[in-house]
Chains A and B, each alone.
Chain A
Amino acid sequence: MDMSQQKSFINEAIYPVTHETVWDRFRKNKAAVVGLVLICVMMMVALLAPLLAPYSPYLTFEEGISLVGAPAPPSAKFPLGADNLGRDVLSRLIYASRISLEVGLIAAVVSVAVGTLLGVMAGFWGGWVDLVIMRFTDAMLAFPFLLFVILVVSVLKPSVTIIFVVIGLLGWAKAARVARGQTLSIMQNNFIDASRVVGASSWRIIFHHIIPNIMGPLIVLTTLQVGNYILTEGALSYIGAGVPQPIPSWGSMIYTGQQYYQTAPWLMLYPGLMLTLTVIGFNLVGDGLDAALNPRN
């Protein structure tokens, strides 16, 4: 064999490399791909709402309610029926996806960002910084999350922005725990000490070395948290502490829907279905990412 063949032969022997990327593994996971499709569909629905919805979600129709006030059943004019105020259910469902996705995504990113910062600080500096942050985290975890969210949102007048800010600012505890654990194990590595020796400042080490290397589990957590926060927003809207009427939200649609169980049972069915499907999507992708990042061959 010639020189270059010898070199690559030795190279392959010493450094056996798998050219399979995380994305490759993810793609092979059928469930994960289904989840990704679900999420993309939902996002498209939310983004293209004005184009997809037949009417405005706020428009009330006379034909929507019968003379006795019963909502109209599914028909040509109202593909999924009308609600108790004569509004088109399909349009409301489509626009409501915006609320859920907006809240879910932003709150998840905010909560993981805040949690990561605190967790990495705790893991990196250790000592009393770690003690204080972790005790605070444990205290936060002791409080029932939903109760806190309901309380704070009720005190400040509820709006979409308030809701995702509150959820984001109260939900950092899980991310902090994960980030701290990851930081501690990353710091076992020599390259952290090497950066120190070369003269890197603490913050540079944190942002340039630690955080990029712990992104995997954090991205998984973010994805799963989106699903959780979508459910949280749904619960908030259901009990009336969420986005105010007449803004459509799947949760509040279920609440008004249940009162018309006899005359219009579909009213409470579809919003719940949408919620479940969306959350299933995020859960599948989250699990898929987790499996793709930690292959167990």
Chain B
Amino acid sequence: MGNYILRRLIYAVVTLVGISFISFLIVYAVPADPAAVIAGPSADAIALANIRHQWGLDRPFIIQYETYFLNLLRGDWGTSFFNQQPVLRQLLGRFPATAELGVVAFLLQLIIGIPLGALAAIRQNTRTDHLIMTGVLVGLSLPRFWLGVILLFIFALKLPWLPLGGYGGWDHVILPAITVGVTGAAYYTRLLRSSMIEVKRQDYVLAATAKGISRARVQIRHVMRNSLIPVVTWAGMDLAAYLGGLIIVETVFGWPGIGQLTFQAIKNMDIPLISGTVLFSAIFVVIGSLFVDIVYIFLDPRISYE
């Protein structure tokens, strides 16, 4: 077991290094000339050359990457071209808002998705099942930004129950969380349902029932526990993706999180900030998948024998 964890850990570190390299490539290979962005449109060649030298843009590729990487480790993720603020500080400053939305949406997905998935599996091929799966179909096909706009229209404009976006208390987070939650829950419902159907067919479930174990215990201990494995995998990556920032939803609702920051950075071609947000997102995903791999050990004992 320790071997397995160690391998996963090393692999995660290697992936992070690889990601930092790709992230650096973004900074390096973007055709927009950063010197021109900093200097403005009326700079002459000498000024541009000076700026290049000042920012170290004229040194060899590998040296630039090395500097970049070491700086990352030291916490210096560069400075935004646009507002001259340190990138990491901006990211961390916006993180609580993103985390709030991400966690609430995530929990909502679980609360909606998992019971519906289980219900659909238990009542497989009945009208309940068909109804739920129709809901899943719509949930998967709805454009998130459209759902957000429609919800705002209904609940913030037609009926002035909720505020028109922005950050605040629970009434501000509810609509964006529902937008994400409803569309996201569809995946969980579908996943759990097919997982449970698969598990119910297994021999060990039949064996447990034949042994005389009560139906409830079989459902919970044998069916559910095993069915939840793929769901846990997905959930880990899902939450990690949300913590990296939801660009579209944050933009629709004016939610001051990392996603909104990312979008503004791209609009402004603010390269250090873009690279920083990409890296930030990816780090969460790697940590998320590492976390999932470790939790896997406790869910599926067969894994530790690999």
Binding site for B on A (CB under 8 A): 135, 138-139, 141-144, 146-148, 150-151, 154-155, 227, 231, 234-235, 238-241, 251, 254, 258, 261-262, 265, 268-269, 271-272, 275-276, 279-280, 283-284
Contact B143 A272 (CB under 8 A): yes
B247 to chain A minimum Cβ distance, whole angstroms, is 6
Q: Which of A135, A239, A272 contacts B18 (CB 8 A)?
A: A135
Set of chain A residues within 8 Å of B153, measured between Cβ atoms: 258, 261, 265, 268
B22–A139 touching, CB < 8 Å: yes
- Other than the given A144-B245, A146-B248, A272-B143, 6 more pairs (CB < 8 A) read A135-B18, A143-B19, A147-B262, A268-B150, A276-B141, A276-B142
On chain B, the number of residues with a Cβ less than 8 Å from chain A's Cβ atoms is: 42
Contacts of A275 in B (CB 8 A): 143, 146
Interface string of B121-157 (1 = CB under 8 A from A): 0000000000000000110111111100110110001
Q: A150-B263, A241-B266 are in contact. Are A227 and B244 (CB under 8 A)?
A: no
Binds A, one of B37-45, B48-56, B281-289: B281-289
Q: Is the CB of B145 within 8 A of A235?
A: yes
Residues in A neighbouring B289, C-beta threshold 8 A: 142
Q: By DSSP majority rule, is chain A's interface helix, strand, loop, or mixed?
A: helix
* Cβ–Cβ contact B32 & A155, under 8 A: yes
CB distance A239 to B241 under 8 Å? Answer: no
Closest Cβ of chain A to B19, distance in Å, is 6
Q: What residues of B have a CB within 8 angstroms of the CB of A146 in the complex?
A: 247-248
| B277 CB within 8 Å of chain A | yes
Nearest CB of B to A191, in Å:
28
Which residues of the other chain, A, contact B277 by a CB distance below 8 angstroms? Answer: 147
Q: How far is the CB of A121 from chain B (nearest CB, A)?
A: 19
Contact A258 B141 (CB under 8 A): no
Q: Judge if B297 is at the interface, Cβ distance under 8 Å.
A: no
Interface contact B137-A239, CB-CB below 8 Å = no
- Verify B248–A238 contact, CB threshold 8 A: yes
Measured in the bound complex, the distance between the Cα atoms of B30 and A149 in whole Å is 14
* A239-B248 contact in complex given A143-B281, A276-B146, C-beta closer than 8 Å: yes
Assess the B15–A235 pair: CB atoms within 8 A: no
Q: Is there an interface contact between B15 and A280, defined as CB atoms closer than 8 Å?
A: no
B149 engages A235 (CB within 8 Å): no
Measured CB to CB, the closest approach of chain B to A279, in angstroms, equals 4
Count how many pairs of residues, one from A and one from B, have CB atoms less than 8 Å apart in the complex.
Answer: 115
B15 touches A139 (CB 8 A): yes
Residue among A155, A251, A268, A271 with max Cβ neighbours from chain B (10 Å): A155
**Minimal Cβ-Cβ distance residue in B for A265:** B153
B60 at the interface (CB under 8 A from A): no
B180 within 8 Å of A (CB atoms) = no
Complex contacts, A272 vs chain B, CB 8 Å: 143, 146, 149-150
| A residues less than 8 Å from B26 (CB atoms) | 151
Q: Which residues of B contact A258 (CB under 8 A)?
A: 149, 152-153
Please pick, from B145, B241, B269, the residue contacting A238 in the complex, using a CB distance under 8 A.
B145
B278 and A155: CB pair below 8 A?
no
Q: Which single residue of chain B is at the shortest CB-CB distance from A156?
A: B31
Chain A residues with Cβ below 8 Å from B278 are 143-144, 147-148, 151
Which residues of A have CB within 8 Å of B140?
227, 279, 283
A234: B residues at CB distance < 8 A: 143, 145-146
B251 within 8 A of A: yes
Most chain A beta-carbon neighbours within 10 Å: one of B141, B144, B247: B141
Which A residues touch B142, using CB under 8 A?
276, 279
Q: Which residue of B lies closest to A237 (CB)?
A: B145
Cβ of A138: which chain B residues have Cβ within 8 Å of it? 15
Could you pull out 29 A-B pairs where Cβ atoms are within 8 angstroms? A135-B15, A141-B285, A142-B286, A144-B241, A144-B245, A144-B278, A144-B282, A146-B248, A147-B281, A150-B247, A150-B266, A151-B266, A154-B269, A231-B141, A234-B143, A238-B143, A254-B143, A254-B146, A258-B149, A261-B157, A265-B153, A269-B150, A271-B146, A272-B143, A272-B146, A275-B146, A276-B138, A276-B142, A283-B140
Cβ A142 vs Cβ B282 within 8 A: yes
* A251 to B148 alpha-carbon distance, docked (Å): 13
| B118 lies within 8 A of chain A by Cβ | no
Query: B267 within 8 Å of A by Cβ?
Result: yes
Option from A141, A261, A284 in Cβ contact (under 8 Å) with B137: A284
B269 near A144 with CB under 8 A, answer no
Smallest CB–CB gap between B156 and chain A, Å? 10
Point out the residues of chain A lying under 8 angstroms from B145, CB to CB: 234-235, 238-239, 251, 254
